[in-house]
Amino acid sequence: MGANPNGLFQETLLPQLCASELAASNAGSLSCDCIAHTYGNAADHGVRVRRYPSDMTDAEWAVIRPLLPVPAWLEGRGGQPEGYCHRIMLDAVRYLLDNGVKWRAVPADFPAWTAVYAFFRRWRHQGLIAEFHHRLRARVRVVEGRDTEPTAAVIDSQSLRAADTVGAASRGWDQGKKVGGRKRHLAVDCTGLLLVVHVTSASVQDRDAASPLLQQLRDLHRKTAVVWADAGYAGRLVAWASDTLRLTLTIVRRSEGQKGFVVLPRRWVVERTLAWLMHRRRLVRDYERLPDTHEAMVMWSMTMIMGRRLARGRPHSHERRSCP
């Protein structure tokens, strides 16, 4: 028929596109203020339209952008300028985490899955996700009227079933929970924000995994002096934490005769954080071949929670000012 392909595209799809999508589909019509667009090589990729619930809103991006780590190439420490928008890459990782899809199943409106995975892996290996997470946590604490560094923490663990992608060397059987797979150990502050995460096989006892967890907590957060835990951490660990790390490990026990679900002081904070993580389908079961990949996924999940909390512009209404 000799029709112009571009004209055919406009005739068939134009009525189906809203005004914002039309503007975004026209290269150069919108601009992005991310580092890759401003200083890198992302100018040719345009701006993606927000489509999924996991995508950042403009308000969230506005509070997140100043806290993003500066890439090495921008500081002259090697590497090539990035060719993909940072906001798009963040949204791609958030989509995978929120919906639990495979890397190869990342939607086509994001960059190729190989590029998204390379971005995720680079941020994990170079410690950029940890740096981004720590900056967000400090900002949230300041907004809520607290010091950037906590003086108290709560620890607990959660056993997860492991998929076939988890190697036999890093999986085990939790006899108490009757779960085969891995176990994630968390230390959180008094508002439930993540301080340290450590992933082991499910067969590792809580008190054994607590030693490296508390050691890392002491190294990263020097002001922390008190840690609350459940009865699974009782015993020699209490004396070891006091003598070696100068940490006061306080065991919060159930009262005699208590049955069923009971909200216990302090312990409910970390249990709520474990529940938050279960909102992300990628974290309901362990699919990661490497434990440190799962740890990175946990930090990514917490960045979503903290970014949205900052975008609201007000302290979390449920928080109790019970400790600094």
pLDDT digit string, tens, across residues 137-178: 999 999 999 999 999 999 999 999 999 999 999 999 999 899
Under-70 pLDDT residues of the chain = 1-31, 41, 43-47, 73, 255-263, 314-324
Of 168, 12, 30, 147, nearest to 87 (Cα)? 30
- Residues 34 and 16 sit within 8 Å (Cβ to Cβ): no
pLDDT at 25: 36
pLDDT at 253: 85
Q: What is the dihedral of CA 164, 305, 74, 29, to 10 degrees?
A: 100
Q: What domains sit in the chain, N to C, each tagged with a CATH number?
A: 18-125 (no CATH), 149-254+263-292 (3.30.420.10)
pLDDT at 3: 41
* pTM (two decimals): 0.84
pLDDT at 149: 96
Does residue 116 sit in helix, strand or coil?
helix
Q: What is the pLDDT of residues 25-77, one digit of tens each?
A: 333 334 687 877 777 767 655 567 888 999 999 999 999 999 998 877 677 77
Cα separation, 150 vs 224, in Å, equals 6
